[in-house]
Structure 1
Amino acid sequence: MAKLLTVVGVLFALHMASSSKLVCHMTNWAQYRPSNAKFTPENIDPFLCTHIIYSLASINSFNQISAIEWNDEQQYSRLQTLKKVNPELQTLLSVGGTVYGVSPFIAMVSTPESRSAFIKSAIRYLRTHSFDGLNLAWEYPAHNGSPEQDRTRFTLLIQELSKAFENEARENRKTQLLLSASVAANLATIDRAYEVENISSHLDFINVLTFDFHGHWEAATGHNSPLYHSSSDFGSYVHHNINSSVSYWLQLGAPAEKLLLGFPTYGRTFRLAGAANGLGAPSTGAADAGPYTRTAGFWSYYEICEFISSATVEWISEQDVPYATYGSAWVGYDDRRSFSSKVQWLTASGLGGAHVWTLDLDDFTGSFCSTGSYPLINHLRMSMGFGPKPTTTPAPTTTRDPLADFCRGRPDGLYENVSDKGSYFQCFQGITYLHRCQPGLVYWDSCKCCNWP
């Protein structure tokens, strides 16, 4: 018998997808943010994502993986305890960054011996700290002081890691470690940095960094993570968007099922130069740093929530993303509506799922945006077709409720509740779930979302 379940909060979704991965990054520097913005592994919902990538570890002068923060190993342990709550959760350690402005990958990949030392170190380190895999975050081979030969050396590193992971699992009768990489979205960078077909076949999944397409380093406003190009784009900028980037990875031979679309939980800000305040308006740098992230040109979603409470919000219909302005400040960001559009796109493209940068930039406590904890990522999860989380509890009933059978025989998806406009049904595997809109909002079946009456 189907069960009628109740969940409180604003939840939005469009078409359900069959993508299997929702990979969420967390950063070890978010622990230093003030007040409610401080983030530690205890803030993670263990059922929110399928994989969590801990950022960031580095590589020392002996070609060994090394921790960066003083308490990284303590944080590893606290992260792994989440698996006791959700045994299906998988964790990866991301390695990258720079040492004195130079990527440690450059020296490490330079010889077979140095790569071998790193690989042995990686296996030992991952097993010691109970990680399920390794994520390579090199920005980028053959760039920023990295010689052209590093394009091929990066391929060799991935091939050698994959083979070593396979051998180690067989010899020790353990589950094989996962191997992923975070890769560029800019077309020119892709051409110079990667032998796409050669690396794709050896990676379990590929995190395409489909954000930072525009930012305060430019002289005009542009969106951080647009789905498509706009009429204000020119020259190579017509390719600074998700559609162009991911399509190019596919064109070069990357399997769609291994590509994960990047979803940012932050926006990029600009300082307007004059009265013009639309897309492509002249700008003179970054808006003021946010009070919690304290980084010029960069606001977390929870900081954006506070900004848009008094700002003017506009939708860029060409690119399926929003921006907001107040005074001379301009921010291009993502919301639940734009996430829904991107989920539709990744579903139509047959991609393997999504990766989120980051957990700690969403409103993880629910104290800023008044829409519950992790409003963006929870919406992304639901939009991708994942079932309700185990924390959902059955509504008490003493007699059979006819609504409990609403989803029997219906396809998975969202449906209006004609008897209560402030709620709606989610059908998942024949089970009926009742979701309630935020007070004052009603469900609109035309957009599969909660909105004002």
Structure 2
Amino acid sequence: MKQVKQVGISLLLAFMLIMTVLPLTALGATPWAPNTAYKTGDVVTYSNNTYQCVQGHTSLNGWEPPNVPALWSKQTSAPDTQAPSAPTALASSNITTVSVKLNWTASTDNIGVVGYDIYNGTTLAGSSASASYTVTGLTANTTYSFTVKAKDAAGNVSPASAALAVLTASPVIDTQPPTAPTNVSAGTVTSTTVALTWTASTDNVGVVGYDIYSGATLVGSSVSTAYSVTGLTAHTTYTFTVKAKDAVGNVSPASAALSVLTTSPDTQAPTAPSNVTAGTITTASIALSWTASTDNVGVAGYDVYNGSALAGSTSSTSFTVSGLTANTPYTFTVKAKDAAGNISAPSASVSATTLPVSSTKYEIVGYFPSWAAYNTPAYTPANVDASKLTVINYAFLDICWNGRHGNPSTDPGNPNSATWTCQNEDGQTISVPNGSIVLGDPVTEGTGGGGGYENLKKLKQLKTTNPNLKLFASVGGWTWSNQFSNTAADPITRANFAASAVSFLRQYNFDGIDIDWEYPNNIGVPCASGQTCQRTQDKANYLLLLQTLRQELDKAGLQDNKHYYTTIASGASSSFVAEAGGTTNWISKAAQSLDWINIMTYDFYGPWDSSSNMVAPLYHDPSDPSGNTQFSVDYVVNMYLNKGVPASKLAIGEPFYGYGWKGCSAGPNGNGLYQSCSGEATGGSSGSTYDFAFLQSNGFLSKDVSGYYTIGGQGFTRYWNNTTKTPFLYNSTTQIFITYDDEQSIHLKNEYLKTKGLRGGMFWELNADSNKTLQTIVSNDLPH
């Protein structure tokens, strides 16, 4: 008896084990068989697994359930065979002539309702995932019977809801016309056009447009309350009326009639331009200007003739004729024209001869900033066109002091207060005496830190494309001028500086040293606490530093059979050339130790000023309300010349960037110039700085018919200040003002330096003109 009971318990446990392994559906499933018709929801077994049919079909050999998942779904639990409950509380709303919105109380389901089918009688009208649906495409004034069924994911469908009868709305027949338009009036009237406006009509449903009549003739239609009638005859009276219309074609009574007399045709030509004069003359261009013509209606522009050939057209009273031949006489006349095409008599002629081609060779100096390698995209020596340059100033190297370099000043004017150990090109810390020149960033200049940019090595490779290219290492700059005062103050550190300069030039096959001390006796970035960055004797010590450097470079040059150059970047202000610490004519004495001086004739004005102005005016503008007559290239160059610096030792700076102000009112001329602003703009290539390439690439500037970037974009208008000879941009909507230099202003600065007999031009910076637009102008203008 005990043994039988144990067997029974064993069978029960075995049955329970089977029940836990097999899905419940398997107990009622039949084995899968070929050539059998299966419908959705059927359950079969195959190879000890259970499958549920997901698509009705007749099975074939090869269509075994594991092989056709599109037909069979492997089951791990019992199939859902329970339908949702029927939707309830079916109701209607928003009944129109062609549609009705249905709402109902959601159904419930053991697993979940996935949607609803809506029936119009026995016809499926649509499906919805929510408990509402709008039935469309119905007929007006017609009764419909709607029901709704719920469904779940397994395809179980609920019973239909209770039927809901809905009567669609009867159509509304619009027979009411709009009111007649009022206050029809004429705006601008010409010999062939009349601009009409009127007060809008009203309608019980809505006005959709207006028809405009000349007498009984329909001349046009408008959806607004304005229309310009064209194709009229001059000096003729026309009578206009306007009618409004609605969507179903109801037309209003005509407005009160308006009689308009078109003007007589404009047959009067402008007066001839007067006082035509030739201004700036170059080897290939002559700038002309004249007194404006007058006209009974208005002058639309001027045509400039070179002999009998049209040289160009302009809407202003000046024009530069370009593409001329050097050392050749030309005769010009100007004619005015109006909008009707009437042309004035020619002006009196003016003759001028282009300059002969100069045999002078000029220096073209471009600064290459090391940090441009971090730009996106990176700017590297591979981006440089060496044929357009004579010198690349690599910026910046620094001075090592007590084993470190950098500027720890926490003043807001210091863009980088970090300091570093003095390192070689591999990023290894080195021990050098105070005053020694060291790499500023071994990551970009060598292989330090794994950067691998190797700018110094790759700059040297540019000499293969331009063997005459000279490479200078520029030391200091705005941020790293903090150790110049200490270095120049002591003969030992002066000697260290000169010796390290020679070592650098020899190691990297460079040709010169450029010192960018900003500024002796007046340091730009305030000094860090506890350090000394300026002295009263700085300018006298600067002379000693330059003399020491010149002596060492000449000594090394004799040994290496080459000339090593030395230049400085100098300030464009009277304070820079002024005497200090007992010096006498220090800047002309400095020039004796230098091959030339690069004057930083830019940043005269910027968003640090409260009013908009020019970053680098060539000449002073008497209408400039700032009252500073010293802020122009011309003033600064003459100041250096008057101090005794030879013209052949001066190069002027040309900015390849600009600055932006925000919150600048339009002012009386509508262009934002010389207006109070609320601060610096922030939409440039770097904050308020707008590189010329950025202005090009981002649509601020586009090409004119001559291929120059003189057309404003992005809501900006490009203006030209004919006194300062510089362009600017202004957006009257955003009130942003941008000062910059372009092809025209750079060209005029190049012509200026040639007429003054200067050494050449220097620009900051190469990457700001990554499209090489401005570099091409400089290269073409300055023989090199």
Fold shared by both chains (TM-score > 0.5): yes
Q: Which is greater in Rg?
A: 2
Residue 677 (structure 2) aligns with: 283
Give the Å deviation of 1:279: 2.0
Inter-partner Cα distance in structure 2 for 1:163 and 1:20:
25
Is the CA contact 2:370–2:394 (under 8 Å) kept in the aligned structure 1? yes
Partner residue, 2:779? 381
Match among 432, 438, 441 for residue 66 of structure 1: 438
C-alpha distance in 2 between matches for 1:236 and 1:162: 40
Q: Which of the pair has the greater relative contact order for Cα pairs under 8 Å at 6+ separation?
A: 1
Could you say if the C-alpha distance between residues 147 and 232 of structure 1 is closer, same or farther in structure 2, counting changes exceeding 3 Å? Answer: farther
- Other structure's SS at 1:81 match: helix
Runs of 5+ consecutive residues of structure 1 not aligned to the other structure: 1-11, 367-373, 387-453
CA contact (8 A) 1:215 1:222 kept: yes
After TM superposition, the structure 1 = structure 2 runs for residues 47-446 of structure 1, keeping only pairs within 5 Å, are 47-61=387-401, 62-69=434-441, 70-73=443-446, 74-97=454-477, 103-144=482-523, 145-170=533-558, 172-192=559-579, 195-233=586-624, 237-276=628-667, 277-290=671-684, 293-294=685-686, 296-305=687-696, 306=698, 307-308=700-701, 309-310=713-714, 311-326=716-731, 327-362=734-769, 364=770, 366=771, 374-386=772-784
Q: Structure 1 residue 85: deviation in Å?
A: 2.0
Query: TM-score, with normalisation over the residues of structure 2?
Result: 0.44
Structure 1 CA distance for aligned equivalents of residues 627 and 504 of structure 2:
41
Conserved in 1, the CA contact under 8 Å of 2:362 and 2:783? no
The whole-number CA distance in structure 1 between the counterparts of 2:481 and 2:394 is 21
* Partner SS, residue 675 of structure 2: coil
**Equivalence for 1:436:** none
AA matched with 1:255: P
CA contact (8 A) 2:373 2:444 kept: no
SS of residue in 2 equivalent to 1:29: helix
Q: Does 1:41 align with 2:396?
A: no
Deviation by residue 1:177-199 (Cα, 9 ceiling, x = unmatched): 11000000011232157811110
* Counterpart-to-counterpart distance in 2, 1:13 and 1:177: 39
Query: When the two structures are aligned, how many residues end up with a matched partner?
Result: 359
Q: Could you say which residue in structure 2 is the equivalent of 1:400?
A: none
Give the C-alpha shift of residue 271 in structure 1: 1.2
Partner SS for 2:674: coil
Cα 1:143–1:257 change in 2 (3 A) is: same
Structure-1 separation of matches of 2:690 and 2:483 = 28
Q: In structure 2, what is the Cα distance between the partners aligned to 1:256 and 1:30?
A: 32
| Aligned partners of 1:13 and 1:379 also within 8 Å | no
Greater mean deviation of Cα atoms: 145-154 or 219-228: 145-154
Deviations 1:7-47 (A, max 9, x none): xxxxx878665342111111011111223xx2111111121
CA contact (8 A) 1:232 1:279 kept: no
Q: Which has the higher helix share?
A: 1
Question: 3-state SS of the aligned residue for 2:737?
Answer: strand
Amino acid across the alignment from 1:77: K
User: What's the % identity of the aligned pairs?
Assistant: 27
What is the Cα deviation at residue 92 of structure 1?
0.4
Conserved? CA contact 1:180–1:206, under 8 Å: yes
| Alignment partners' CA distance in 2, 1:285 and 1:13 | 42
C-alpha displacement at 1:148, in angstroms?
Answer: 1.5
Structure 2 Cα separation of the partners of residues 267 and 232 of structure 1:
21
Q: Which is further off, 18-27 or 42-51?
A: 18-27
Change (3 A) 1:228 1:19: farther
List runs of 5+ in structure 2 lacking aligned partners: 1-321, 325-354, 402-433, 447-453, 524-532, 702-712
Distance in 1 separating the partners of 2:509 and 2:481: 29
Which digits, 9 at most, give the CA deviation of each residue in 1:146-185, with x for residues without a partner?
Answer: 1120010001111111111111222x24212110000000
Query: 1: CA distance between counterparts of 2:747 and 2:552?
Result: 39
1:385 is displaced (CA, Å) by 3.6
| CA drift at 1:202 | 1.1
Q: Please, which of 361, 368, 371 is the counterpart of residue 29 of structure 1?
A: 371
The verdict on how the C-alpha distance between 1:234 and 1:201 changes in structure 2, with shifts beyond 3 A counting, is farther
Check the 8 A contact 1:208/1:259 in 2, yes or no. yes
What TM-score does the superposition give when structure 1 sets the normalisation length? 0.76
- For 1:304, give the aligned amino acid: L
Question: How far apart in 2 are the matches of 1:189 and 1:232?
Answer: 26
User: Residues 52 and 40 of structure 1: is their aligned pair in 2 closer, same or farther, counting only changes over 3 Å?
Assistant: same
